[in-house]
Amino acid sequence: MKYCRFEFEGREQYGLVESVAGREVITRLLLAAPEEHGGVADIPSKTMTALPLGEAKLLVPVRPSKIVCVGRNYRGHAAEMNQEVPKQPLIFFKPPSSLLAQGGTILRPRSSQRTHYEGELGVVIGKRCRKLAVDEDVRPYILGYTALNDFSARDLQDVDGQWARAKGFDTFCPVGPLVTEQLDPWAGVGVQTRVNGELRQDGNTRDLIFPLDAIIRFAAEVMTLLPGDLIATGTPQGVGAVVSGDVVEVTVEGVGTLRNPVLDE
């Protein structure tokens, strides 16, 4: 199952995405939000004229009540930041107002001189989740996976004790282009970031310090995770600055490429 959210005939719609002759194509309109049904299987749908994903006006594929992020979850990234590897998941929030769709412009705020991309695997929660049992499988709580850019004002992050400002600007959370359940992050999913076509990050989720079960269990001890909530699982090594005019692409194996230009505010 793969789906996207897009603007179609003047309305926000969900679309089923299928591979047709090697291309991702929207083939059916889903008549309800997948996160409210725990997937697309039981959602009524209707046919539409096939629309290539690349030609659709894509919207952010999720509508989370919160975006829970994990800091320093790859050893290589902790090392490049001259930081210790955390002993337990280090979680923080990005506000839903920071969400940005495929193709949307990331705006560098005037208050920051050093803005960094962070390519990450995003996890979409599909089922209300609170205080899991120690041996409980987290997979039934996961609706699917997407690509995410945890864009960061690194200079403000260094100055502030809390990261709400550095991570929370409008447009600082590009997500997309679609959501898929056809991934196994425990086995390994490639996460790459390119700037103007040049490879900068080349990680794999098999190197996560805290795998998804540890992250979800840890977060659900604190807060109720709701359907549609988004988890940013951490960025591999290779983060770096971008300036106005750059184009950042985050490619998650099996999801596709999330592409966003960068401009000064």
Which listed residue (13, 171, 180, 235) binds Mg ion by CB under 5 A?
235
* Contacts of 164 by beta carbon, 8 Å cutoff, 6+ apart: 92, 93, 95
Closest approach, Cβ 160 to Mg ion, in A, equals 15
Specify the residue, 150 or 249, whose C-beta has the smaller distance to Mg ion.
150
* Contacts of 116 by beta carbon, 8 Å cutoff, 6+ apart: 151, 152, 154, 239, 240, 241, 242
**Judged by CB under 5 A, how many residues of this single chain contact Mg ion?**
3
Closest approach, Cβ 150 to Mg ion, in A, equals 3
Closest approach, Cβ 69 to Mg ion, in A, equals 5
Closest approach, Cβ 90 to Mg ion, in A, equals 10
Closest approach, Cβ 88 to Mg ion, in A, equals 16
* Backbone phi, psi, residue 228, to 5°: 95, -15
- Closest listed residue to residue 25, CA positions, set 47, 53, 3, 49: 53
Specify the residue, 157 or 180, whose C-beta has the smaller distance to Mg ion.
157
Output the CA–CA distances (angstroms, integers) from residue 101 to 9, 114, 122, 138, in the order listed: 18, 22, 14, 27
Specify the residue, 10 or 161, whose C-beta has the smaller distance to Mg ion.
161
Q: For residues 166, 64, 62 and 220, what is the CA-based torsion angle, rounded to 10 degrees?
A: 100
Residue 208 in the binding site for Mg ion (CB under 5 A): no
* Rounded CA separation 102/213 (Å): 28
Specify the residue, 56 or 173, whose C-beta has the smaller distance to Mg ion.
173
Residue 118 in the binding site for Mg ion (CB under 5 A): yes
Residue 205 in the binding site for Mg ion (CB under 5 A): no
Which listed residue (35, 150, 181, 229) binds Mg ion by CB under 5 A?
150
- Residues lying near Mg ion in the complex (CB under 5 A) are found at 118, 150, 235
